[in-house]
Amino acid sequence: MASSRSAPQPAFVLHQWDWSETSLILDLFTREQGRVAAVAKGAKRPYSQLRPVLMPFQRLLVLTTRPKADEHADILLLRSAEYAGAGAALPPSRLFPGFYLNELLMKLLARGDPHPALFDAYADALQALAVAPDEAPLRAFELLLLRETGVLPELSRTTTTQEVVQPARHYRLSGDSGLVVAAEEAAHLPGSLCLALQAALDADDRPALRRACQGGLPVLRVQLRALLHYHLGAPALRTRQLMLDVRRLLDASVPHST
């Protein structure tokens, strides 16, 4: 785990749990320390200054320290937190995608492992989600997260043979084999899309990456979902399952003509 901080650092709240009648335990994604767990004492009190601040999807400046009684504690103390970001807030219709990004970070990142580039990409993805009408910010962030954690294969050449990707051919992402030639075109990635994605990743151009994703959202969703599940070791994320359940309820509530 990272050491105590002497100055505030940028952070987002990924999740929170009740710790006592008045306090919370937070899962924070910080730019300098990565994911950390911190106790927010008194944050549940009605007049706590922390209560309106410790909300998901808000950029914060937080100060955390280790308890004096245990310098090796895994859970830090939140000393202060203040709102530190301007920009578009997530509308209600985009909250589920935001929580999906949070769950990905919680499941794929180890605590105390800094990823400043990924922190910036997450902040950028939230802003894009606030205004984007499609899934491109989600797919782009999945790609960046997989790359940052070292499990995204190069998309400009096949993994096993190192053959250069051909624009007219189709490919698939395999958890154990990387990028391989696909036997069929259905639900697989066109070579032209693979090359566009890799070019945007190489240039570290997040807007270009979202534009490239827009050219293949249905196939990207299928391919990236399979790759994420392989590395997560779980069949489904809770936020995704919840989104599906809500959609089914909404569909069931709509009267059908006979």
Q: Beta strands 24-30 and 9-18: pairing type?
A: antiparallel
Question: Do residues 208 and 124 touch, judged by C-beta distance below 8 A?
Answer: no
Residues forming a β-bridge with 39: 25, 77
Question: Do residues 27 and 35 touch, judged by C-beta distance below 8 A?
Answer: yes
* CA 14 – CA 147 distance, rounded (Å): 20
What is residue 135's three-state secondary structure? coil
* CA 157 – CA 176 distance, rounded (Å): 16
What pTM, to 2 d.p., does this model score? 0.88
Phi, psi of 97 (to 5 degrees): -60, -35
Question: Do residues 90 and 129 touch, judged by C-beta distance below 8 A?
Answer: yes
Q: Beta strands 170-174 and 189-190: pairing type?
A: antiparallel
Tens digits of pLDDT across the chain (258 residues): 444 446 899 999 999 999 999 999 999 999 999 999 999 999 999 889 898 899 999 999 999 998 776 666 689 999 999 999 767 788 988 999 999 999 999 999 999 999 999 999 999 999 999 998 889 999 999 999 999 999 999 999 999 999 999 999 999 999 999 999 998 888 899 999 999 999 999 999 999 999 999 999 999 999 999 999 999 886 566 665 555 544 444 444 444 433
